[in-house]
Chains A and B, each alone.
Chain A
């Protein structure tokens, strides 16, 4: 499978996530769109890892090129899990304070 297809798929998912962040008002949905963008990048990292593995296989049958990228994706997932727990705690706190998760009500910084 050409790597271009994976590039375009990841770009499409990433841009759909950006559209969601720009158009939606609900803080939880915006957070979910950020997760979608993170996953698009993960998918592209894995595709590139397999692409470089295939290239390295042509010269060395025992090569392990591409392992680092997959571990990188694993660490991205670890950080994302921590980020989601803290982010959702912040959203719950926001809901408790202003009884809404609409980001339009969060313009108090300018006053």
Chain B
């Protein structure tokens, strides 16, 4: 087992464990911190596949900006010690069973679809580099890029209007 496999399995185990901890921890602040760890491991997967642009964008946008926004909102509401009442245990059990069943169906349906022999290119390849992606983004995808700036503007205006109401 080479270094790539070791890193892959380590990142996978940490990702699944922290995702479970994110769902099952009572304190919302702990949930946010576990989710940041999940985003770091997903960024590690991007780096392992040599998608360097997405690696750094995922770190800056998700683990940086969005999670800080979540933390700010939680601190604004002053509910750090707030543990939600567990009224209905059966609903929790039903939710866990539904999620596990969906997982079972997905794995059973996707394990024999002819993708077993397909390999993912690891550690090399030029398509994920910032130089190449930037050239394509500003040559072929200029119009979606500009439209996304309009989307950002409208989201900003919408957030301010909702917040002032």
Interface residues of A (CB under 8 A from B): 1-9, 11-20, 22-26, 28-29, 31-33, 35-36, 39, 42-43, 46-47, 49-51, 53-55, 57, 64-68, 70-71, 73-75, 77-86, 88-93, 95, 101-102
Contact = CB atoms under 8 A, between A and B. Distances in A.
B12 A67 contact: no
Given A25-B84, A85-B155, 18 more contacts: A1-B8, A3-B115, A4-B110, A4-B115, A9-B15, A15-B102, A16-B20, A29-B31, A33-B22, A33-B23, A36-B38, A39-B42, A42-B42, A43-B42, A46-B46, A64-B136, A67-B127, A93-B165
Contact of B73 (A8, A71, A88): A88
A111 to B, nearest CB: 20
A71 B141 contact: yes
Contact of B95 (A22, A64, A81): A22
Given A36-B22, A77-B57, A9 B16 contact: yes
Contacts of A81: 61, 65-66, 152
